[in-house]
Amino acid sequence: MAEITHRFVETNGIRMHLAEAGEGPLVVLLHGFPESWYSWCHQLHALAEAGYHAVAPDQRGYGQTDRPSEVTKYTQLHLVGDVVGLLDALGEAQAVVVGHDWGAPVAWNTALFRPDRVRGVVGLSVPYLPRGPVSMLTAMRAALGDGFYMAYFQTPGVADAELARDVPTTMRKLLYSASGDAPRGAEPAQPVVPPGRGFLDIMVEPPALPAWLTEADVAFYAGEFARAGFTGGLNWYRTIDLSWELTAPWQGAPVQVPSLYVAGDRDLVVNFPRTRQFIGALRTFVPRLTKTILLPGCGHWTQQERPDEVNRALAEFLAELP
C-alpha cells in the first residue's frame, strides 16, 4: 500500500498542511465540513497505486492549515485561490480537482474561474449550482425558515460552542446521522433546528458505529477539532452571501471542463428542496459532464461510506481524460 506523507506549503498567503501519496498526474482532493484530509484516506491509497499524485490538503480554517480570524477571508474567491496557489507550490500547471461537501463548490468554482488549470473536476454530494438571483442561504431560508442549519450557523460563537462542547459526541452524531446507515426516519427529513434548540438536537447518537466508521476514525476527527475548533469551518457558511455578491461576473456561466458527479441517494444534500431538479438538469450547466452516479443507500459521507465505488468511478473518469 502506498505511503501517505505530510508536508506544508505556502499558498495564497496561508500555510497549508497536506497529505499526499504517489507519483504521476496531480489529483487534488478537497474535503468538506466537518472533516479534514483524513476523509480521503481510501482515495489517497487507491489513486497512488493507480499511478497518480494524490494530494489532500486541510483546507483553510481546518486541521493544521492556517485559520485566519477574519470571517471575510473565507469566500469562494479565497478558497479557489488556495487551490491555484497549491498547484503553483507543487510546480504543476494543471490538476484534476475533486471535492466533497463544501469541497465540491470549491472544486466546481476552481474549474469555473480557472479552467486553464483544471484538467477535470469531480463533485461528490454537492452538484454544480449556477449562481442564482439570490444566494443559496437566502433561498434556503425562504424554503425552510431561519432554523435551516446554514442559517443557524450564521451567528458567531453559537454553533462553535455547541459543537466544541463534547467533540467526540459531536463527531459520532454527525457522521452517523448524515450517513446511509442511520435508520430511515432517524435522520431529519431536512436539517432544520427547532426554536430554542441546537444543531446536535436534530442528530442521533449511534447505537453502534457503522462498518465504514471506526473508533479510530472518530478519535482522529475529534482530536483535530478539539485542537483547531470549529470556527474556521463555520466561517465558510458565514461568507455564503458575500461569495454570492463577489461571483456576479460568473452569473449563468457553465463549467466547461470534463466533469463527473457522484452522490448517495440518501444524502441530505441531494434531498434539499430542488436539488434533484438541478441534478437532473446538470448537463445544462456542465456540458462536458461524463456521468452522474447516485449510489443506492449511501448517505452524505460518499467517499468514506462507499470507497470502492468512488475509487472505481474516479479511476474510470481519470482514464478517459485527454
**Tell me: the pLDDT tens digits for 48-98?**
999 999 999 999 999 999 999 999 999 999 999 999 999 999 999 999 999
Q: What residue ranges do the domains of the chain occupy?
A: 5-320
Q: Using the 8-state DSSP alphabet, how is residue 73 labeled?
A: G
Q: Which residue has the higher pLDDT, 94 or 185?
A: 94
- What's the mean pLDDT in 140-159? 96
pLDDT surpassing 80 at residue 189: no
- Report the mean per-residue pLDDT for the chain: 96
Residue 274 clears pLDDT 90, i.e. is over it = no
Strand order in 118-124's β-sheet? 5-11, 14-21, 53-57, 26-30, 95-100, 118-124, 259-264, 289-295
Query: Could you give the count of Cα atoms lying within 13 Å of 96 in the half-sphere of its Cβ?
Result: 23
Query: For 228-257, what is the mean pLDDT?
Result: 97
Share of the chain above pLDDT 70, in %: 98
- The residue from 101, 160, 181, 267 that is catalytic is 101
Is pTM, for the whole model, over 0.95?
yes
Residue 101 falls in the annotated catalytic set: yes
pLDDT digits (tens, 9 = 90+) for 34-52: 999 999 999 999 999 999 9
Average pLDDT over residues 242-255: 97
Task: List phi, psi (to 5°) of 98.
Answer: -120, 130
Active-site residue among 74, 237, 261, 267?
A: 237
In residues, how long is the chain? Answer: 322
- Please indicate whether residue 74 is annotated as part of the active site: no
Torsion, Cα of 31, 248, 282, 193 (10° steps): 60
300 among known catalytic residues: yes
Report, as an integer, the average pLDDT of 227-252.
97
95-121 pLDDT, tens digit each = 999 999 999 999 999 999 999 999 999
Return the pLDDT at 183.
Answer: 86
**pLDDT of 188 over the 70 cut:** no
Q: What cell was used for 270?
A: 441531494
pLDDT at 297 over 70: yes
**pLDDT category of residue 230 using cuts at 50, 70 and 90:** very high
Average pLDDT over residues 277-306: 96
Residue 190 has pLDDT above 90, yes or no: no
Cα(78)–Cα(240) distance, integer angstroms = 12
CB 75 within 8 A of CB 239: yes
**Average pLDDT, stretch 158-183?**
97
| pLDDT score for 285 | 96
pLDDT of residue 184: 74
Q: Which of 17, 31, 53, 300 is catalytic?
A: 300
**199, pLDDT greater than 60:** yes
For 35, the grid coordinates are 472533516
CATH class of 5-320: alpha beta
